[in-house]
Amino acid sequence: MAKHAHILIQHAEVADGTGAPRFDADIAIIDDRIAFVGDCSHWTADQRIDARGLVVSPGFIDTHTHDDRLLLSSNSMEPKVSQGVTTVITGNCGISLAPTPQRLQAPITPPLDLLDGEGDWFTHPTFQSYVDALQQQPAATNCAPLVGHTTLRIVAMSALDRPATADELTRMKALLREAMQAGAIGLSTGLAYDPAIAASTEEVIELAKVAAEFGGVYCTHLRDESDHVMDALEEAFRIGREANLPVVISHHKVAGKNNFGRSTETLERIRQQMGVQDICLDCYPYAASSTVLSVKHASSALKVLVTWSKSCPDMAGRDLADIQKEWQCSLEEAVGRLQPAGAIYHRMDDADVSRILAFDDTMIGSDGLPHDAVPHPRLWGSFPRVLGHYSRERGLFSFEKAIHKMTGLSAQKFGLRDRGFIRDGAYADLVILHADTVAEASSFARPIAPAIGIETVLVNGKIVWNAGQTTDARPGHVLSREAVTP
């Protein structure tokens, strides 16, 4: 008797997420799982997809996002599914949408305003209530949420310009423990930002210990990514070591012209430390960053583009230098008049970006900001840019290695069981793409544009993107952290 699949992908070239060479196979899907990878010529199916001339890979895992609100406010997740992303890690850089026992009021403290500037979405008093909302209104992608240290500070502390008191730390630990019990996968920090910069290393260690009780991970936007990057790395290593949990160095970079080339130094130190503790890193494939607008960042950037401004919304998309000329004012005055605002900063060297991307244990994260009026193109283009520009055009690594960095490696490091690989029994998170043409269409001039060459995307066995359009399917799950075998 012939076996029956709900969806049968035929004549595919499979890049299975391990980094091994591609191979020809059919893929049979039953419900939300891959039932069989191999010759399915005798299977029957409700739906057949002819993948002749196409590559099928695991769905991409965006290891660094700020999609906490997007999952609820625009759950088609078009910026992500259009480039093949099927799972997003949220709550990065110390900012998460929950928990907020007292509803936050406008103006929202930066950088939390990158998620919501008015306070309309900071409505989840517990982390469980946020998870419940995600489960009651599923998105097109899966998500694995982190808890933000800055969010905990803002809701637990009476002043942010100092380390937490013992009572405040006790309250933060209680909030974090509830979040971990609700399914959060770990703790994130953004120690470079004003609300967290006064936090002591010991404060973070005590919180990280709570995350470690639940098998969590520690993700960190380092305290410094420029002149003092080596000291910041050592602090991150210490936190992971003393709290006994894995460390993820978020969007690793060396910023500022005087630091160009220092990735050789940082990567060597990371490689050394990997020998004694669990450490990995992610990177986005651009030499420009994006966050809140500040004089500090703008003064060390080669070019600054305004991505949004509450006080001067018509300035979104403009070059800050041109705004200064038009207003005939100093950098400090222009930044002040635009507040609250966000910006893109050209502060990195592509040689460093390439070196970090090529590092064996570097995962791919977009760090996209979905609520910016004129966002950084990484929001829509990070994953196809890795495949097209860095792999196919520049030969930085093989196509299979690129896929591994965006799938299997990320699943292993974040503990996403049965994700990131194409094999019997894995969840049917899949991307069908044109390997010879896949590329980003987004650019700094035109940042909102679906990728080229992404044909079909499936999440948990449901098609969420097909022939250039989203579908009505919303099959995303809230994922927990578990041990993963290669």
- Tell me if domain 60-287+348-414 and domain 290-345 are identical in fold: no
What phi, psi does 270 have (nearest 5°)? Answer: -60, -45
Give the pLDDT of residue 2: 77
Give me the residues paired with residue 26 across strands. 38
Q: What is the largest CA-CA distance in the chain?
A: 79
Give the pLDDT of residue 122: 97
Burial class for 175, CB neighbours closer than 10 Å (0-12, 13-18, 19+): buried
Nearest to residue 416, comparing CAs of 253, 69, 183? 183
Give the pLDDT of residue 486: 63
Is 61 in contact with 414 (CB distance < 8 Å)?
Answer: yes
Q: How many CA atoms lie within 13 A of 390 on its CB side?
A: 29
Nearest to residue 458, comparing CAs of 25, 24, 18, 30? 30
Distance CA 401, CA 353 (A): 17
Give the pLDDT of residue 401: 98
Distance CA 418, CA 308 (A): 39
Q: What tens-digit pLDDT sequence spans the chain (486 residues)?
A: 679 999 999 999 999 999 999 999 999 999 999 999 999 999 999 999 999 999 999 999 999 999 999 999 999 999 999 999 999 999 999 999 999 999 898 999 999 999 999 999 999 999 999 999 999 999 999 999 999 999 999 999 999 999 999 999 999 999 999 999 999 999 999 999 999 999 999 999 999 999 999 999 999 999 999 999 999 999 999 999 999 999 999 999 999 999 999 999 999 999 999 999 999 999 999 999 999 999 999 998 999 999 999 999 999 999 999 999 999 999 999 999 999 999 999 999 999 999 999 999 999 999 999 999 999 999 999 999 999 999 999 999 999 999 999 999 999 999 999 999 999 999 999 999 999 999 999 999 999 999 999 999 999 999 999 999 999 999 999 999 986 666
CATH superfamily of 290-345: D-aminoacylase. Domain 3 (3.30.1490.130)
Give the pLDDT of residue 482: 86
Residue 12: its H or E element: strand 4-14
Burial string for 120-154 (b: 16+ CB within 10 Å, else e) reads ebbbbbbbbebbebbeeebbbbbbbbbbbbbbbbb
CA 220 to chain centre: 12
Q: What is the DSSP letter of 15?
A: -
Give the pTM: 0.97
Q: Is the backbone peptide bond immediately before 111 cis, with ω within 30 degrees of 0?
A: yes
Query: CATH number for the 4-58+423-470 domain, one of 2.40.50.140, 2.30.40.10, 3.30.565.10, 3.10.20.740?
Result: 2.30.40.10
CA-based Rg of the chain, rounded to a whole angstrom? 22
Nearest to residue 211, comparing CAs of 241, 237, 168, 180? 180
Enumerate the domain spans of the chain. Answer: 4-58+423-470, 60-287+348-414, 290-345
Nearest to residue 180, comparing CAs of 68, 99, 125, 270? 99
Class of 60-287+348-414 in CATH:
alpha beta
Can you spell out the DSSP letters for 408-431? HHHHHHHT-TT-S--STTSB--EE
Q: Are strands 469-470 and 462-466 parallel, antiparallel or unpaired?
A: antiparallel
Give the pLDDT of residue 6: 98
- 3-state DSSP assignment of residue 65: coil
What phi, psi does 217 have (nearest 5°)? Answer: -115, 155
Give the pLDDT of residue 483: 67
Give the pLDDT of residue 484: 61
Q: Treating both helix axes as pointing N-terminal to C-terminal, what angle do 166-182 and 127-136 enclose, rounded to 10 degrees?
A: 30
CA 324 to chain centre: 33
Q: What is the DSSP letter of 369?
A: -
- 3-state DSSP assignment of residue 169: helix
